[in-house]
Amino acid sequence: MERRIAAILAADMVGFSRLIEMDEAGTLARQKRHRLELIDPTIRDHHGRIIKLTGDGLIAEFNSVVEAMQAAVLVQRAMPAREVEVPEDRRIRYRIAINLGDVVFDEGDIYGDGVNIAARLEALAEPGGIVVSGTAHDMLKSQVEVGYRPLGEKRLKNISTPVRVFQVTDGAPGSRNPAARGRPARLILIALIATLALAALGWLWTRPDFTPVDPAEMALELPKKPSIAVLPFETHGAAGSQDWVAEAITESVISTLSFSPDMLVIAHSTMKGYKNRQVSATDVARELGVRYILSGSVLRSGETLRVTTELADAIKGQQIWSIREDSSMDDLLALQDGISRRVFEELSVSLTVGEGTRTWLERSGSFENYVALVQGRAEFQKFSPEGHANAERLWGALYRKEPNNASTNYLMGWLFWHKVTLGLSGDPAADWQKAMDFATRALEIEENGEFYTLAAVLTQGSGQHDEAIALADKAIALAPGSADANALGGLVKATSGQAHAGLELMERGMRLEPDYAEWLPASVTYARLELGLYDEARKLAREVLASDIKDVRAKPQAQSVLVVAAVFEGKMEEARKEARKLLEIFPKASAAYGRQMRSTHRNKAFLEKYLDALVQAGIPES
């Protein structure tokens, strides 16, 4: 194992899942050609090496951050010309991020905060663009002929300290090209004016849209889950005669958002008090203790209504997105439903489920079915008998409505797995087989990457580790951009003896889904412990303990991580203290219980080491 400072380049294809769905063969063929002819040679020419391939992207390591930047710039400048003959909606574009930080090299793999920051920064780049961390920017200065636009400090998922981020722009001030020295003075003046203009624009681009709110100043404690207040929609045009339309849309949006178990939505009765009040997003967030503010307006022009909606992040002081819908006066109910559902979809993508929202909405067949799916998911993730019963009621109704739908069969398979896992089954072998039958049926109807994950989990649970790994690989190959395929595929690999690969995929799943599944942190922290990443395991465990997570297993598992990590590092006094906390929150804790919970793990040697650490700290054997 080697630890050192390195420049890490993370690249990801924009909209990979959509491109694959539109033209799988063409996309994959062009991706392969770009890598062979452009990306791989450019990285090699700049003394870099590709460490990991992620299906739709890669992680590369360079000894020099300057060479990493030079490689990134060459790739991004060459890509448009290589895709010029491809229709606009099918063009391959990459996002690239560069970070300079501490990384660990072990058996050909690479991990650590230096890699994690680069991977998370990549999502902040524009399509075809490059972003760099503050540490990389400080080293680069003017050594590469590009400019930088500051994006401010960003909070990245599972990174405790905010990271300074800079967007790379073409054409740095002060070109180092010797040929430029003989140009006329007027060009220098033009360049100076342009530089000043760009500086002014840069300030406009990066300034907050409104005054950010400090959570400590809020009247109420900020909830852990995404919290939102919907201001009464305003009316423009027609002298206020459409106030009733704006009120109906406001009420409909709040009612629709309230369907989501993953968001805290301020009630309509409270928000009515803000009608006709001149208040800012800052004021509303501070008074109600919410992070996100949704505002909107209704404009009538003749027989056409235009509804505009904006979502703002009060803590960052910036607008996240804006959407617009047009409708005729004759179709008001459709407009009301349409804007409510569009807002629900966009918020789910931005704040909770992630891009998977759009796929599941399409598969569900209707908005009502999707709401039942999401509500059932929240109950399922509680991993309790009551949660199972509620998920069974919601998902069972969907299956009875559409028994030949691939998605409903997939959900039923998970329900039977859930039943066995929770110890609620009177005949575990029969119910396990039913789960497998539903998984098989789902794949017969539609060969989909996410459906393969259920088959992989069931196969791994039966002790067929190699077969399970093959199914997980199939899932990820078919759905490389899916949060579930990555998270569950990673779980299968990690429990089947491939801790490095499994952890990478699970962490990618966490990045793809903002409100990631509540079972996931326990599997991630276990894999981190197995790989000796004690600080990273502790960090995530403490986040779980500080959260309002609903999975009844999550906090005992997180507390167990603190016990085991302390023992592994020889901090026995700390370990015994953490063990006492574990017994307080989970009196049933024992090595025997832990062995039962992880009975299907392939790496028995590490499992026994983990359980022995619990016993050393004072947790009973049985």
**Strand partners of residue 166:** 132, 150
pLDDT value of residue 505: 92
pLDDT value of residue 329: 62
How much helix, strand and coil, in percent to the nearest 5, is found in the chain?
Answer: 55, 15, 25
Angle at 58 between CA 112 and CA 20, to 5 degrees: 135
pLDDT value of residue 484: 84
Amino acid identity, residue 34?
Answer: H
Query: What is the mean pLDDT of the segment spanning 201-224?
Result: 68
pLDDT value of residue 345: 78
Any idea what DSSP says for residue 178?
Answer: G
Query: What is the mean pLDDT of the segment spanning 293-317?
Result: 81
pLDDT value of residue 239: 44
Query: What is the mean pLDDT of the segment spanning 486-515?
Result: 89
Half-sphere exposure of 607 (CA within 13 A, CB side): 19
More confident residue, 323 or 131: 131
- The model's pLDDT over 150-193, given as tens digits with 9 standing for 90+, comes to 887 787 877 777 888 888 886 433 333 333 333 444 444 444 44
55, 8, 19: which is closest to 508 by C-alpha?
A: 55
Ordered domains of the chain (ranges, CATH): 2-172 (3.30.70.1230), 215-351 (3.40.50.10610), 383-616 (1.25.40.10)
- The model's pLDDT over 360-389, given as tens digits with 9 standing for 90+, comes to 777 777 778 888 888 888 899 888 999 999
More confident residue, 418 or 202: 418
Q: Could you give the CA distance from residue 312 to residue 305 in angstroms, rounded to a whole number?
A: 23
* pLDDT tops 70 at residue 295: yes
Contact 5, 92 (CB under 8 A): no
Contact 410, 454 (CB under 8 A): yes
Query: Hey, what are 358's tokens?
Result: 């759009």
More confident residue, 477 or 336: 477
pTM (predicted TM-score): 0.54
- The model's pLDDT over 399-452, given as tens digits with 9 standing for 90+, comes to 999 999 999 999 999 999 999 999 999 999 999 999 999 999 999 998 888 899
More confident residue, 595 or 223: 595
- The model's pLDDT over 506-530, given as tens digits with 9 standing for 90+, comes to 998 887 776 677 889 999 999 999 9
Query: What is the mean pLDDT of the segment spanning 525-552?
Result: 91
Query: What is the mean pLDDT of the segment spanning 75-103?
Result: 89
* pLDDT tops 90 at residue 547: no
Least confident of 424-428, 512-516, 562-566, 579-583: 512-516
Highest mean pLDDT among 6-10, 213-217, 525-529: 525-529
Query: What is the mean pLDDT of the segment spanning 446-475?
Result: 92
pLDDT value of residue 469: 95
Q: If pLDDT is split at 50, 70 and 90, which confidence band does 355 have?
A: low
Query: Hey, what are 445's tokens?
Result: 């109807």
Contact 557, 565 (CB under 8 A): no
pLDDT value of residue 233: 86
C-alpha distances (whole Å) from 311 to each of 153, 266, 338 are: 20, 15, 17
- The model's pLDDT over 24-37, given as tens digits with 9 standing for 90+, comes to 888 888 998 898 88
pLDDT value of residue 103: 81
338 class by beta-carbon count within 10 Å (0-12 exposed, 13-18 middle, 19+ buried): middle
What integer best gives the mean pLDDT of the chain?
Answer: 83
* pLDDT tops 60 at residue 479: yes
pLDDT value of residue 189: 47
Amino acid identity, residue 311?
Answer: L
Q: Could you give the CA distance from residue 468 to residue 460 in angstroms, rounded to a whole number?
A: 5
Helix (H, G, I), strand (E, B) or coil at 164: strand
Half-sphere exposure of 108 (CA within 13 A, CB side): 3
